[in-house]
Structure 1
Amino acid sequence: MSTASVETLSQDRALRRAFSVYPTGVVALGAQVDGKVAGMAVNSFTSISLEPALVAVSVARTSRTWPLLASVPELGMSVLASHHEALSRSLSAREGDRFDGHEWRETVNGAVLIEGAALWLTCTPRSVFDGGDHEIALFEIKDITLFDDVEPLIFHQSRYRSISTDVAV
């Protein structure tokens, strides 16, 4: 029998804690905006459709970076690798050069993709939906580059983790 931890939390903190139980990957969104690279990290990323190929991200309305990225014609999405924890933290920061010390490349149309990532998606905006205190943005995938040997970065219970390949028998 398991026991639950009981403590009094505000609804906001309780929801954050509850949602943290679900492990997610970390995705860097990036593009060139007015001659400067702009980017942010999200863990609210999901596949939507195979035909057409669609993905969605959910971004807080309080984000200062999202309005820049929401207006670009092409956006890079990079599933960060297990060695990208520092980059994820940098992309989540409010100040400073978020890409400092990290390698990236740019597509012809300005999408920014992170070197060493597990997956690159080059996407175009499709639709935006109301998601309460977030916006849910739907993107059409135009190009896919998969790196099979790269282990993704995992975010679980507000901590960065890796996938363990050890299996108990």
Structure 2
Amino acid sequence: MTTTTIDPAEFRKVLGSYPTGVCVITALDGERPAGMVVGSFTSVSLDPPLVGFFPDKSSSSWPLIEKHGHFCVNVMGADQQGVCRAVTARGEQKFVGVDYALSDHNLPIIANSIASIECELYSVTEAGDHWFVLGKVLRMEIVREDDPMLFHKGRYGGFAERL
């Protein structure tokens, strides 16, 4: 294997030039919602239906979600920056003002998200300073037809079609 030194700041800068969608991964921690914002969500397989994302190993939210064994991927709309801020808050402030309902799988589905994808934890694989999490899709739905939230160069935004 070749050893190459990559500057972490340059790595973030270069990869930050690639826009990503924004999702909130949710589960329950007892009676309280647990959640984290991710920009690494992706479809993985049709058969079986698998999706994936990459939580940081230092995340305090991921162990709570992993413990539940199930999670919901809430695809954020361009107008839901407030939801992202509330989910990234610390302690008692986390989820303040976030409207959600519990699904039949006992997962928090965030109101007005673009789509919700309920999953059973399929596997967790070490991937450097992150985990590669796969979920087997149990249920999914489009909640509303609207523009998704995007993350690009450290900022949240939306989609604009160029003609």
Q: Same fold (TM over 0.5)?
A: yes
Match of 1:55 in 2: 51
Does structure 2 conserve the Cα–Cα contact (< 8 Å) formed by 1:120 and 1:144? yes
Q: 5+ residue gaps in structure 1?
A: 1-9
Match of 2:75 in 1: 79
Cα deviation, 1:41-74, whole Å, max 9, x if unaligned, reads: 1111111001111001101110111100011132
Letter paired with 2:82: A
Letter paired with 1:103: D
Match of 1:119 in 2: 115
Distance apart, 1:148 and its partner CA: 5.1
Matched, 1:13 2:9: yes
How many Å separate the matches in 1 of 2:92 and 2:78? Answer: 23
Identity of matched residues, %: 27
How many Å separate the matches in 1 of 2:15 and 2:21? Answer: 14
Aligned match for 2:98, one of 99, 102, 107: 102
Deviates more, 1:98-107 or 1:120-129: 98-107
Does structure 2 conserve the Cα–Cα contact (< 8 Å) formed by 1:46 and 1:55? yes
Cα deviation, 1:62-112, whole Å, max 9, x if unaligned, reads: 011110001113211100011111211222233443211121111133211
Letter paired with 2:86: S
How many Å separate the matches in 2 of 1:100 and 1:94? Answer: 10
Q: TM-score, normalised by structure 1?
A: 0.88
Does structure 2 conserve the Cα–Cα contact (< 8 Å) formed by 1:30 and 1:40? yes
* Matched positions, count: 158
How many Å separate the matches in 1 of 2:132 and 2:88? Answer: 18
How many Å separate the matches in 2 of 1:97 and 1:39? Answer: 12
Aligned match for 2:66, one of 61, 66, 70: 70
SS in structure 1 opposite 2:55? strand
How many Å separate the matches in 2 of 1:73 and 1:64? Answer: 16
Letter paired with 2:54: S
How many Å separate the matches in 1 of 2:36 and 2:154? Answer: 17
Give RMSD over aligned pairs. Answer: 1.4
Cα deviation, 1:121-150, whole Å, max 9, x if unaligned, reads: 000000111111001110001101113512
Q: TM-score, normalised by structure 2?
A: 0.91
Letter paired with 1:83: D
